[in-house]
Amino acid sequence: MTFTLSSLVLALAATLTGVVNAHPIAQSSSESTISERGSLLSSLGIQSWSQPPEHPVHKLFARQSTYPTGNPDVTTMPDAWKQALSNALAAGLIPDIPQSNEGVYPNGLNPLDPSICSSTAQCRGNGDIWDSPDGMLGISFDDGPTAASPALYDYLRSQNQRSTHFMIGLNIAANQNIFMQTYNDGNDIAVHTWTHRYMTGLTNEELVAEFGWTLQIIADLTGGRIARYWRPPYGDSDNRVRAIAKNIFGLTQVNWNHDTDDWEIATGQTNPTAVANALASFIALPKSPGLMILEHELDTNTVQAFINAYPNMKSSGWDTRSIPELFGAPYYQNAQGNTSPVTPQGIVAGSPAAGPAAAAAAGNAVTTGANPTPANATPTSAIAMGASVSPSSSASVHKNGATPSIRGVTGYLWALLVLPFLL
C-alpha cells in the first residue's frame, strides 16, 4: 500500500467539490487493517501514531484559527452548532428551564425540583459523576492552564500519575505551550467552558458557544480529539445545561464530593494551612464512596497544596486515577488516549443518547464507517468539533464564514481523509 502527495491532493479536491470518501485510498474491505496502517506509516517514515512537532502533518493544522477573546458572540459561532441546537430544541431534548441568577431561579422555583435539578443545590442529575468508585481517588484540576501549571505537570510526571484537567478555553488560547505539556504527558483534557461563567444564567445559544469553542480549541490542538467530560464552573448546572452538554456535545458532567476551597487562598478567604487540613481530613475518610476532590491549578499555592498532600493519598491506600481511568473509559469521545488513533466520526453522528436531534443533524453530516467507537465508549455527540459545515454545501468547510483553505478544511474532513493514516 502506498500513499503519495498526488493522492492527498486528489482527496482534498474531492472534499472541496462535494465528494467525501471514508478514506482517500481504495480498499478491498470497509476498513483498513492495523497491519495495513502500520505498513503505510512505515512507508512514510513514521514510527508511531504520535507525531513530533516538526512532522509535516502539523502544517495542516497550523494554529491559525480565530477564537473568541472574551464572551463568545453567538451570532458568529459555526452554523453546525446553531443547527444542532435547533434540532435538539425541535426534538424536545432541551427542557424549558428559566435562566438563574448564580443558581437562584425566578418566581421562587425550587432548584431541587426534579425538573430543574440544580447541581448548585447539590441535586445529582442523571448521568452526573460526583463520587469515585470505592477505594479510588479521582485526580483532577480546574481552571488551567496557567503560569503555575508546569510545576504541577512536572510533579505529576515524576510520580507517574495521570490526571484530568478541566480547562478554560480562554486559558488554553493564552497558554498553548503549557497546554501541550500536560497533553504530551498523557493526561486527560476536559472542558471547563470558554469563560468560566455561571452556566444556568446563560441562554441556550450562549451555552452552545461556551461548550463549542472549548471543545474546538482542544480538538485543534490535539489532532481532533473530542473531550468526554466537563465540569461546571462553580458547580452550576441544571437539567437544561446538562441536556445541551450531553445531547449536542456528548459531554458527561463531573462534579465533586469534597471541596478544598483552595481557590480562596488568593482572595484571603482561606489559607494554605486550612487547605492542607481539609485535604488531610478527606484523605482520612472511609474508602466508600471514593473521593472526588475539587482542586485547582490556579497559582503556586493551590498547586503546592496538592503536591504536599499527594504522598498522604498514596500512603493511605487510595487508588489515584484520572477521571476516565476511574471507570475504565476512553479519554475522549473519539480516541482511547493521547497517542491512540483518532476515530474519524465526522462532524456529527447519530446516537441513541442524542436521539432525534442527532438523527436530524446527521442528514447534513460527513461521516465514515471506519474505526468504530470502542465498545466501552459513551455514545457519540450530536456534533463533534472541527470546522462547521456550510448549509449550502456539505463539503464546503469553514469557521466563522471564512473562505475554505488548507487551514479552513481542517477538523473532521481532514480527519476523515488523512489522519486515519498519518496520526
Residues designated as active site? 142, 296
**Could you tell me the end-to-end alpha-carbon distance of the chain, in angstroms, rounded to an integer?**
17
Q: Return d(Cα 291, Cα 251) in angstroms, integer.
A: 21
Q: Return d(Cα 330, Cα 74) in angstroms, integer.
A: 31
**How far apart, in Å, are the Cα atoms of 56 and each of 6, 155, 386, 423?**
15, 32, 19, 11
* Phi/psi-derived region of residue 358, left when phi > 0, alpha when psi is between -120 and 50, beta in every other case: alpha
Q: Return d(Cα 133, Cα 328) in angstroms, integer.
A: 11
What's phi and psi for 66, nearest 5 deg? -100, 125
Q: Return d(Cα 142, Cα 299) in angstroms, integer.
A: 11
Give the count of beta carbons closer than 10 Å to the beta carbon of residue 212.
Answer: 27
230 in Cβ contact with 129 (< 8 Å):
no
316 in Cβ contact with 284 (< 8 Å):
yes
224 in Cβ contact with 183 (< 8 Å):
no
Pairing mode, strands 388-389 and 397-398: antiparallel
Residue 376 CA to its chain's centroid (Å)? 17
Show the cell assigned to 387.
Answer: 470546522
SS3 for 295?
coil
318 in Cβ contact with 293 (< 8 Å):
no
What is the residue type of 211? F
What's phi and psi for 112, nearest 5 deg? -90, 0
**How far apart, in Å, are the Cα atoms of 117 and each of 51, 88, 100, 101, 355?**
44, 20, 12, 15, 21
Q: Indicate the helix (H) or strand (E) that contains 164.
A: strand 164-167
Q: Return d(Cα 65, Cα 217) in angstroms, integer.
A: 9
DSSP string, 375-387: TTSPPPPSS-SSS
